[in-house]
């Protein structure tokens, strides 16, 4: 029987809350400072117009309605009882404070909601917004979790893919989130053009050193009509093979602090309009292959997590 060689999110939720917990995606008609002209207009070179909200209900529905519809689906299908409101698409802290408060209050209303998860950019984290979340957390006893799109710690790559922020903003956001005792998630793409295995290892090391709670891995997908899509058509994008990608994921896992929970090992990508997604292989086959390689190599999460807290002193046994 295959043993689990990394920390699986669903198991973690089950242990933490005593039963299965389901995330209810909320889609806001928002935008992003990297698309509306504040930082730039083109967005990240891989971003499509959906702003990573392709699995959500239409954003014309109210937050309450989206929660109700998604909740009923999970209740009927899985007999679910506990839920996390998940602000998934676009940049969910990029709005005025009053609007942010209204959204959070709407998402916290339902008595079956036990937590709120907010996806955003590292440069859209601000103390006033976090202080409000702290109030809500204390009033309602909710679990607050903030998901930051880091993508890579390599700030040269961040510049090349036009993220509009560097590693510094991620570190700043993370420290502010941690100071209030919220959980954090780092979203990482391990095959961005220009990144190599050294970057993969440094991703794992910096995420571990900063005490991030969860990671979410995605491979790069190339949507037609995006800047990256146009580069791909011109033959300007070099992609690694699936085997090389799997090797990167396995190495990332080896360097990752064993306490960090892996929320997602493989992303699904949007349907249609694609140049490239997951090597035209279903996400679950890639996931299974990663698990097989961990097994074949007899390796596991944190096997190479030996680099913090004065590694040299430990090696010399001083």
Where does this chain bind ligand SF4 (CB under 6 A)? 32, 34-35, 43-44, 47, 51, 90-91, 121, 149
- For the record, the structure tokens of 257 come out as 């602090």
Q: Which of 47, 177 has the CB closer to ligand SF4?
A: 47
Please report how close the Cβ of residue 149 comes to ligand SF4 at its closest, in angstroms. 6
Count CA atoms within 13 Å of residue 48 on its CB side. Answer: 18
Q: Which of 34, 66 has the CB closer to ligand SF4?
A: 34
Please report how close the Cβ of residue 148 comes to ligand SF4 at its closest, in angstroms. 10
Q: Left if phi > 0, otherwise alpha if psi is -120 to 50, otherwise beta: which for 178?
A: alpha
Nearest to 114 by CA among 16, 27, 215, 180: 16
Q: Which of 44, 63 has the CB closer to ligand SF4?
A: 44
Q: Determine the Cα–Cα distance for residues 234 and 288; give it in Å rounded to an integer.
A: 33
Q: Which of 90, 245 has the CB closer to ligand SF4?
A: 90
Burial 223-251 (b: 16+ CB within 10 A, else e): beebebbebbeeeebebbebeebbbbbbb
Please report how close the Cβ of residue 51 comes to ligand SF4 at its closest, in angstroms. 4
Q: Could you report how far apart the first and last alpha carbons of the chain are, in Å?
A: 41
Q: Determine the Cα–Cα distance for residues 223 and 177; give it in Å rounded to an integer.
A: 32
Please report how close the Cβ of residue 130 comes to ligand SF4 at its closest, in angstroms. 19
Q: Which of 54, 300 has the CB closer to ligand SF4?
A: 54
Say if residues 159 and 195 touch (Cβ distance below 8 Å).
Answer: no
Say if residues 190 and 202 touch (Cβ distance below 8 Å).
Answer: no
Q: Which of 51, 229 has the CB closer to ligand SF4?
A: 51
Please report how close the Cβ of residue 34 comes to ligand SF4 at its closest, in angstroms. 4
Please report how close the Cβ of residue 47 comes to ligand SF4 at its closest, in angstroms. 3
Q: Which of 45, 113 has the CB closer to ligand SF4?
A: 45
Say if residues 262 and 8 touch (Cβ distance below 8 Å).
Answer: yes
- For 156, other C-beta atoms within 10 Å of its C-beta total 12
Please report how close the Cβ of residue 270 comes to ligand SF4 at its closest, in angstroms. 12
Q: Determine the Cα–Cα distance for residues 27 and 47; give it in Å rounded to an integer.
A: 16
């Amino acid at each position: 029987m295959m043993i689990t060689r990394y920390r699986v999110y669903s198991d973690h939720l089950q242990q933490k809350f005593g039963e299965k917990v389901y995330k209810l995606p909320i889609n806001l008609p928002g935008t992003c400072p990297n698309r509306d002209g504040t930082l730039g207009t083109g967005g990240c070179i891989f971003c499509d117009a959906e702003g990573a909200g392709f699995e959500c209900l239409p954003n014309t529905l109210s937050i309450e309605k989206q929660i109700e519809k998604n909740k009923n689906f999970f209740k009927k299908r899985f007999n679910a009882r506990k839920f996390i409101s998940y602000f998934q698409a676009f940049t969910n802290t990029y709005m005025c404070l009053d609007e942010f408060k209204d959204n959070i209050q709407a998402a916290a209303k339902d008595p079956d909601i036990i937590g709120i998860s907010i996806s955003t950019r590292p440069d859209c984290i601000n103390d006033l917004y976090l202080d409000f979340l702290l109030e809500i957390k204390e009033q309602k006893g909710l679990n607050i979790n903030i998901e930051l799109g880091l993508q890579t710690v390599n700030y040269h790559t961040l510049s090349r893919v036009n993220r509009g922020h560097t590693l510094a903003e991620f570190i700043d956001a993370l420290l502010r989130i941690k100071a209030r005792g919220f959980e954090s998630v780092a979203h990482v793409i391990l095959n961005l053009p220009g990144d190599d295995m050294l970057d993969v290892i440094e991703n794992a090391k910096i995420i571990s050193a900063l005490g991030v709670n969860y990671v979410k891995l995605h491979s790069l997908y190339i949507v037609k009509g995006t800047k990256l899509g146009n580069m791909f058509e011109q033959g300007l994008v070099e992609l690694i093979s699936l085997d090389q990608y799997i090797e990167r994921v396995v190495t990332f896992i080896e360097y990752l602090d064993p306490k960090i929970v892996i929320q997602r090992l493989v992303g699904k990508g949007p349907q249609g309009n694609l140049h490239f997604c997951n090597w035209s292989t279903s996400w679950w086959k890639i996931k299974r292959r990663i698990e097989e390689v961990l097994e074949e190599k007899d390796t596991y999460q944190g096997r190479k997590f030996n680099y913090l807290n004065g590694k040299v002193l430990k090696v010399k046994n001083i």
